[in-house]
Amino acid sequence: MGSPVYDCLIYNGLVLTMAPGAMPLAHGYVAVAGGKIAAVGQTDTLQDLPAARERLDAQGALLLPGLVNTHCHAPMVWFRGLADDLPLQQWLTEFIFPAEGAWLDADKVYRGTLLAAAEMIRGGITTVADGYFYEAAVRQALSDAGLRAVVAQGVVDFPAPGVPDPTRNLAVAAEFLDTGADYPDRLTSAVFCHSPYTCGPETLQKAKDLTRGRGVPFFLHLAETREEAASLKRRTGRSPGAYLDHLGLLDELTVAVHAVWLSPGDQELLALRQVKVSHCPESNLKLAAGVAPIPALLKLGVTVGLGTDGAASNNNLDLWGEMSLTARLHKVWGRDPTLMPAAQVVALATREGAQVLGLGETTGTLTPGKAADLIVVDVNQPHLTPLYDPYSHLVYAARAADVRHVMVGGRWLLSDRRFTTLDWPALAASVRDQCRDLAAFCRQLRPHP
């Protein structure tokens, strides 16, 4: 029998597999077959390049796993720049919640998600966890865009977009989970409870039961601000982590988003229960929420990934910025330049992020048998020259525009910086047309001086 013929061979790049303990592979190659990684190695060990239907010379580029965005509200790209420089509760109650309730519908959520998908694909994100409303439209858009995703129906105890009757919030979530099988297996359906202050204890417990019975993630915002944590303590007599543990919500399938105001006891509790954490530093800083104790959580063995949050509070969906800020922020906050070294931060954005979402066996490393979710980053540029340490460049110097190719499940979503699954000119025109009435509504909320 002859040598196997691969679907795609990417060669001549510097390969970062992101497998634990693996070293960068100079003159590396990755072979793809059937949507999965079939082989990884170095071309200088081969007599001839393997046969492939498609070949991509990655000379002058880094080849690494696609980035994993562990927390996003994709449709909120519509609200980018709507209300900045405000405290979280004022931002939510005076601007975001009213705009969502008055303006959103399923079609706008779908188109907004396509816009978010374009931004994420362009920046090398191949997997995203999204939590919002009209989430069936989000799921369809992410499916059409070709991304891998964990898509979570939002739950709150008051009228919400697509769920005007809050007594049906759990029924809508259950229906959403039940229809997940109709989509490709790269899409996982889940549940997102907004927070302990927008969901009562019974809602939280029943929502968790929905996900526990199906073995899928359960997401919620936790201890995002000092005021939230203090209010919960006054109301329940418990810290945020202790309150959720009292309700039976903490386990290996729970993803705590933000996790900023955690007591040392809460941190130990999350580690004990194997809770995962999504760290969203840009959003936390913009809203003055605080700095999450990520080095302490990592030291305790908590699995942490990076998230962008929504574009309304960030204001972009760029994990390169999150990586750079994660490394720099914790150094200055801890007054220790050795905290959060670059290689560790890249791991949070790839391998560890996949683990947070329960996808560690599927994606996150360039390992034979895993999905072919990968990106090619062009380092043949002035701001990335010379190259000594690829991890350093990825964290401290690279940016989203440096991503040249993006593949998910063996399918190119971005080829030579061109979208293959999205009609960008048509999408951009549609978004600009639809946002005019939103702009008029926003002027009523906050007239310009």
Same domain, yes or no: 140 and 24: no
CATH number at residue 305: 3.20.20.140
Same domain, yes or no: 315 and 382: no
pLDDT above 70: percentage of residues in the chain: 98
**Local confidence band at 1 (pLDDT 50, 70, 90 cut-offs):** very low
Residues 410/339, Cβ–Cβ less than 8 Å: no
- Structure-token pair, residue 329: 């922020």
Q: What is the mean pLDDT of residues 199-224?
A: 98
- The helix/strand count (H/E) of the chain reads as 16, 17
Which residues in 58-123 belong to E strands, given as ranges? 61-65, 67-72
Provide CB contacts within 8 A for 380, sequence distance 6+.
Answer: 60, 61
Same domain, yes or no: 299 and 156: yes
Residues 129/70, Cβ–Cβ less than 8 Å: yes
* Buried/exposed 345-356: b ≥16 CB within 10 Å, e otherwise: bbbbbbbbbbbb
Same domain, yes or no: 44 and 85: no
Same domain, yes or no: 21 and 118: no
Q: Which residue(s) pair with 14 in the sheet? A: 62
Helix or strand or coil: residue 226? helix
Asked whether residue 205 is assigned to any structural domain, the reply reads yes
* Spatial separation of the C-alpha atoms in residues 28 and 5, rounded to whole Å: 18
Same domain, yes or no: 107 and 79: yes
- Structure-token pair, residue 263: 């007591």
Residue 400: closest CA among 316, 324, 318:
318
- pLDDT (tens digit per residue) in 11-31: 999 999 999 999 999 999 999
CATH number at residue 29: 2.30.40.10
How many structural domains is the chain composed of?
2
Asked whether residue 155 is assigned to any structural domain, the reply reads yes
- Structure-token pair, residue 23: 């070293």
Same domain, yes or no: 234 and 256: yes
Residue 367: closest CA among 65, 135, 78:
65
Same domain, yes or no: 108 and 151: yes
Provide CB contacts within 8 A for 391, sequence distance 6+.
Answer: 16, 341, 342, 343, 345, 346
Residues 33/4, Cβ–Cβ less than 8 Å: yes
Q: What is the mean pLDDT of residues 265-277?
A: 99
Asked whether residue 426 is assigned to any structural domain, the reply reads no
Asked whether residue 285 is assigned to any structural domain, the reply reads yes
Distances, alpha carbon 341 to alpha carbons 344, 346, 347, 398, in Å: 5, 9, 10, 15
Same domain, yes or no: 38 and 104: no
Residue in the structure block whose two tokens are 């993630």: 217
- pLDDT (tens digit per residue) in 51-67: 999 999 999 999 999 99
Domain of residue 84: give its range.
67-356
Please tell me the total number of residues recorded for the chain in this structure. Answer: 449
Same domain, yes or no: 390 and 341: no
Q: What is the mean pLDDT of residues 409-417?
A: 99
pTM above 0.95, yes or no: yes
Asked whether residue 169 is assigned to any structural domain, the reply reads yes
Residues 303/356, Cβ–Cβ less than 8 Å: yes
Residues 191/166, Cβ–Cβ less than 8 Å: no
The Cα angle at residue 204 between residues 201 and 207, in degrees rounded to 5: 145
The Cα angle at residue 422 between residues 55 and 114, in degrees rounded to 5: 130
Residues 349/319, Cβ–Cβ less than 8 Å: yes
Asked whether residue 439 is assigned to any structural domain, the reply reads no
Q: Is the pLDDT of residue 447 over 60?
A: no
Q: Is the pLDDT of residue 170 over 50?
A: yes
Q: What is the mean pLDDT of residues 276-301?
A: 98
Task: Return the amino acid letter for 125.
Answer: I
SS3 per residue for 358-391: CCCCCCCCCCCCCECCEEEEECCCHHHCCCCCHH
Same domain, yes or no: 41 and 153: no
Asked whether residue 10 is assigned to any structural domain, the reply reads yes
Same domain, yes or no: 83 and 136: yes
Asked whether residue 445 is assigned to any structural domain, the reply reads no
Residues 254/205, Cβ–Cβ less than 8 Å: no
> What is the pLDDT, as a whole number, of residue 449?
45
Q: Is the pLDDT of residue 2 over 70?
A: no
Instruction: Give the domain-ending residue among 315, 330, 356.
Output: 356
